Amino acid sequence: MPEVFDRSGTGSIKWARAGQGRIALGLADMDLPGPAAIGAALAARARHPAYGYTAADPGAPQLVADWYRRRHGTAIDPDWVLCLPCGPRTAMRLLLDAAAPRIRGRTAAATAPEWGGFAGLCASAGLPFEAVPPGHADDSYGLPLDGFAALRPGVLLVSSPHNPTGRLRTAEEIRGLAALAAAEGGLLVSDEVHGDLVHPDHGLRHPVAVAVADPDAAGHTVTVGSVGKTFNTSGIPSCWLLVPDAGLRARLSEQAAAFGVWAGGLLEQTVQRAALTDGGPWLDGLLQHLVEARDLALDALGPAVLVRPRASYVMWLDGAALGLPSERAREAAMTERDVELADGADFGAPRPGLLRLNYALPLPVLEIALSRLACR
């Protein structure tokens, strides 16, 4: 990975919201170049001067299934795969509408902290939403199955790996959530867009929800995947959903088509095919870089780190341990340390002063950012 990577002039939201002179560590995308194969594929397609309606790639479901087999050692039925030319958030919103007959009016639940988009998606779908405190006897950030069960939820939502901590979910936890969803006649939605980014230094695997669920619960389980986070291509949104329930899959396809979202997508399919076909070696190198970057951050920030990440490139911090005032930790990091982070309140943090840091940067830039942040 390079020592310098300049994103100026690219319209980066991440750097625009940080402001001049600050290092952006907030939004969850990487300041690292993606695979050359993706750029080459886009350039080759752009040389043909027709950019009209594009048929769905008939080989895409098998391509996705092959990716899960190679990267995760997981068997996925290609018939379960629904590829969409939209971001995961949009796909999950369509999924909630498609699942309405089984979940309408019922409570949706997730832990807090958790990816902040879940609450908004449920509100727009007219679903009551409850946040459940995380933790169990073995892990204070584990999935609280008893807490979920007490709500008797119609929808369970989980980011796996966990955003904002980078904690790796266990197969037992995911299997338990799927069983609960099945027992309630509801749905488990597992957002696994960070699932390819498991750190290679601890020998663990990411549990793909539809694969680890017991067979009688798989029909109540949906996995959401994408090349966006893995290969830093979220500016060309695409995703897939793994939906074992054929009826739900058909309703979802109909719902998407009703909104003009069909399975094609010229640029989206070009990026996805190049990433899944040729991106594996690049991803191996990225993961080694993320381990180095993670360890730099752990060494620099010490007791401020609340969870040791085992996946992705996000880290959950206690601003008070960095000498930042709890009530305005993000603002103080920006104005006093010239570093921009994500506010824990955006993830439903249980108290003020918590922050999420993105460490997917060139190491020299990350070292500067960490020195600023750790200074008191």
Question: Which letter does DSSP use for residue 133 in this model?
Answer: -
Residues 6+ apart with CB under 8 A from 92: 117, 121, 189, 191, 224
pLDDT of residue 303: 95
pLDDT of residue 264: 83
31-56 mean pLDDT? 96
Question: SS3 of 350, please?
Answer: coil
357: pLDDT strictly greater than 90: yes
If asked whether residues 213 and 286 sit together in one domain, one would say no
* Least confident range of 156-160, 200-204, 206-210, 307-311: 200-204
306-310 mean pLDDT? 97
CB atoms inside a 10 Å sphere around CB 307: 17
If asked whether residues 180 and 313 sit together in one domain, one would say no
Q: What is the mean pLDDT of the chain?
A: 96
Cα separation, 238 vs 159, in Å, equals: 18
Question: SS3 of 309, please?
Answer: coil
Q: What percentage of the chain reaches a pLDDT higher than 90?
A: 94
Per-residue pLDDT tens over the stretch 238-274 = 999 999 999 999 999 999 999 999 888 999 999 999 9
If asked whether residues 89 and 30 sit together in one domain, one would say no
- Cα–Cα distances (Å) from 130 to 72, 122, 174, 348, in that order, read 32, 10, 19, 11
If asked whether residues 256 and 121 sit together in one domain, one would say yes
Cα separation, 131 vs 109, in Å, equals: 6
Tokens standing for 324? Answer: 């930042």
CATH number of the domain enclosing 306? 3.90.1150.10
286: pLDDT strictly greater than 80: yes
If asked whether residues 79 and 224 sit together in one domain, one would say yes
Burial 188-219 (b: 16+ CB within 10 A, else e): bbbbbbbbbbbbeeeeeebbbbbbbbeeebbb
| Closest CA relative to residue 165, chosen from 203, 139, 188 | 139
Asked, for residue 50, whether it belongs to a domain, the answer is no
**191: containing domain:** 60-278
43-47 mean pLDDT? 97
5: pLDDT strictly greater than 90: no
- Please state the φ and ψ torsions of residue 364, each to the nearest 5 degrees: -60, -35
- The CA-CA-CA angle for residues 27, 17, 165, to 5°, reads 25
CATH number of the domain enclosing 77? 3.40.640.10
Tokens standing for 71? Answer: 């990267």
If asked whether residues 121 and 217 sit together in one domain, one would say yes
pLDDT of residue 1: 78
If asked whether residues 186 and 232 sit together in one domain, one would say yes
Asked, for residue 18, whether it belongs to a domain, the answer is yes
158: pLDDT strictly greater than 70: yes
2, 317 contact by CB (below 8 A): no
If asked whether residues 252 and 320 sit together in one domain, one would say no
137: pLDDT strictly greater than 90: no
Asked, for residue 361, whether it belongs to a domain, the answer is yes
pLDDT band at 6 (very low <50, low <70, confident <90, very high): confident
Asked, for residue 270, whether it belongs to a domain, the answer is yes
Asked, for residue 40, whether it belongs to a domain, the answer is no
Asked, for residue 48, whether it belongs to a domain, the answer is no
Asked, for residue 1, whether it belongs to a domain, the answer is no
Question: Which letter does DSSP use for residue 130 in this model?
Answer: E
147: pLDDT strictly greater than 90: yes
376: pLDDT strictly greater than 70: no
45: pLDDT strictly greater than 90: yes
How many domains in the chain? 2
Burial 150-169 (b: 16+ CB within 10 A, else e): ebebbbbbbbbbbbbbbbbb
If asked whether residues 129 and 197 sit together in one domain, one would say yes
197, 32 contact by CB (below 8 A): no
pLDDT band at 159 (very low <50, low <70, confident <90, very high): very high
Asked, for residue 43, whether it belongs to a domain, the answer is no
Task: Please report, as a single letter, which amino acid is at residue 82.
Answer: L
Cα separation, 212 vs 214, in Å, equals: 6
Tokens standing for 102? Answer: 């089984």
153: pLDDT strictly greater than 70: yes
